[in-house]
Amino acid sequence: MNVGAWQVLSLMLRREMCLYFRRPDQLLQPLVFFLIVTALFPLGLSPQLSLLRDMAPAVLWVAALLSALLSLEGLFKGDAEDGTLEQLALCGQPLGLIVAAKTLSHWLVSGAALVIMSPLVAVALGIPREAFPAMLLSLGLGTLTLSWLGAIGAGLTVGLRRGSVLLSLIVLPLAMPLLIFGAGATDRAISGASAAGPLYFLAALCVLTSTLAPFAATAALRITLE
């Protein structure tokens, strides 16, 4: 009657999705933030398309980083406050699996949703349609990496009363390579060059964090739970 790893993953994903969708404000806040920030730039800058197009990759990526960061704080916080995190830690399953499921569901509602919305923003910023595949791919890889990095930060800061500032201080420096390669890939795609180089780097970072971050975040959580 043992519960296998896949069942743990699917049960945890269902739990997280249930919780996210019962709290639509939590779900929409990062997305609305992303939309508004990116929409402010064309309003603030002159509506010259060439200028917008030059700025677009940076705007898109900075907004994506900040909006993902906005929702990261809540990754373990709710569970820690009501005591369910202890229950999860004691469920007899590897805590890394639980952490991975929670991080993946965070990515699904923040990162993946943001990727789906990004073409809308891209049109507003004047990004040509040929650049869309590279932009979508880079955002997908980048936000997933960010969720993993954020899980480490959230695990470290969940026990602190004002952890959100510390969380940004921990995660943002680690996210710099994402910004550089992500914006780089989008920029190259806009100018018609091959975006393969920066995309490979993003993919490598994504694989690196996907394999190592669950362990780091688990260790961080164990310390916090003590």
Give the nearest distance from C-beta 1 to other proteins in angstroms: 5
Give the nearest distance from C-beta 152 to other proteins in angstroms: 20
Comparison of 90 and 196: residue with beta carbon closer to other proteins: 90
Comparison of 22 and 162: residue with beta carbon closer to other proteins: 22
Of 143, 124, 105, 119, nearest to 14 (Cα)? 105
Residue 22 interacting with other proteins (CB under 8 A): yes
Q: Tell me the CB-side half-sphere exposure of residue 86, using CA atoms within 13 A.
A: 6
Comparison of 15 and 53: residue with beta carbon closer to other proteins: 15
* DSSP code per residue over 25-68: HHHHHHHHHHHHHHHHHHHHS---HHHHHHHHHHHHHHHHHHHH
Give the nearest distance from C-beta 186 to other proteins in angstroms: 37
Q: Helix, strand, or coil here: 98?
A: helix
Q: Is 106 within 8 Å of 72 (Cβ atoms)?
A: yes
| Total interface residues for other proteins by CB under 8 A | 29
Residue 211 interacting with other proteins (CB under 8 A): no
The rounded distance, in Å, linking the Cα atoms of 222 and 109 is 25
Nearest-5° angle of CA 53, CA 51, CA 188?
35
Comparison of 75 and 121: residue with beta carbon closer to other proteins: 75
Contact characters 66-105, other proteins, x per CB under 8 A: ------------x---xxx-xxxxxxxxx---x-------
3-state helix, strand, coil in the chain (%, to 5): 85, 0, 15
Residue 50 interacting with other proteins (CB under 8 A): no
Give residues 2-21 in contact with other proteins (rule: CB under 8 A).
2-3, 7-8, 11-12, 14-15, 18-19
Residues that bind other proteins (CB under 8 A): 1-3, 7-8, 11-12, 14-15, 18-19, 22-23, 78, 82-84, 86-94, 98, 225-226
